[in-house]
Amino acid sequence: MAIDDLLDEHEQSERVLNWLRRNGAALIGGIALGLAAIYGWNWWKGQRQAEQLAQAERYETTLDAIRSGDKAAASKVAALEGGYRTLASLALAKQQVDAGRRDEAIATLRGVKPEDPALAQLVDVRLARLLIDAGKHAEALALLKGIDTPAALEARGDAELARGQREAAREAYRQALTRTDVAAPLRRLLEIKLTQAGGTPAKPETQS
């Protein structure tokens, strides 16, 4: 190997050593931060999974309390979070209705504020049905405004019919029918309600 090559290698080695002396602390700090971030992420995921598992277990315990009629069921429902709280509230409201405590069921559903839009609509429809049963038709219709699922439209028709608005009820039932599959069990009930409201169900289109 030529002397020039040896000098070049020595010079390059010195440059690397000088760079490490100047930047070594920052390099080591960056590696430490990277390792800390990875550890922190894995720790957070582990904590989150543990929290979700604990929440699921509390949900199952709450459902057991609801089924058994435990007086502490409502407080157990309130201690849940997110979708678990919404689903448990729906179960509690059903148990309250079955026990003849409609007003308690209304209060239970009023206290639920789901973040998930689908769950929010489900709660609103369930609450609207209870309000219709309680004679609060205008309040029920306000809850159902903007929801165009078959169940919501059916409930809207029920509210309109209960307050004597038969044409509005027929229109709601017709809209519900257009959104209901021909083979769905709900379809026959909608046809009966439309007939009782003075309408005539259209024959479903058949494929040739």
Distance between start and end Cα atoms, the chain? 89
pLDDT, tens digit (0-9, with 9 covering 90-100), for 10-25: 565 666 556 556 665 6
Q: Which residue has the tokens 């809850």?
A: 143
Residue 163 φ then ψ, to 5°: -100, 15
* Identity of the residue numbered 188: R
Q: Do 126 and 149 meet the contact criterion of CB atoms below 8 Å apart?
A: no
Q: Which two tokens stand for residue 79?
A: 């201690």
> What does the mean pLDDT of the chain come to?
82
pLDDT over 60 at 118, yes or no: yes
What ranges make up the beta strands (E) of the chain?
none
pLDDT digits (tens, 9 = 90+) for 57-86: 888 888 889 998 888 888 999 988 888 899
Average pLDDT over residues 39-44: 59
Residue 203 region by backbone torsions, left for phi larger than 0, else alpha for psi between -120 and 50, else beta: beta
Residue 2 has pLDDT above 70, yes or no: no
Q: Is 14 exposed, middle or buried (0-12, 13-18, 19+ CB in 10 A)?
A: exposed
> Does the predicted model carry a pTM greater than 0.85?
no
| b/e 63-99 (16+ beta carbons within 10 angstroms → b) | bebbeeeeeebbebbeebeeebbbbbbbbbbebbbee
pLDDT of residue 207: 45
How far apart, in whole angstroms, are the C-alpha atoms of residue 113 and residue 110? 8
- Is the pLDDT at 92 greater than 50? The verdict is yes
Find all residues with CB under 8 Å of 201, minimum gap 6, and list them: 177, 190, 191, 194, 195
Tokens of 106: 């209304």
Radius of gyration of the chain (CA): 32
> Is 199's pLDDT higher than 50?
yes
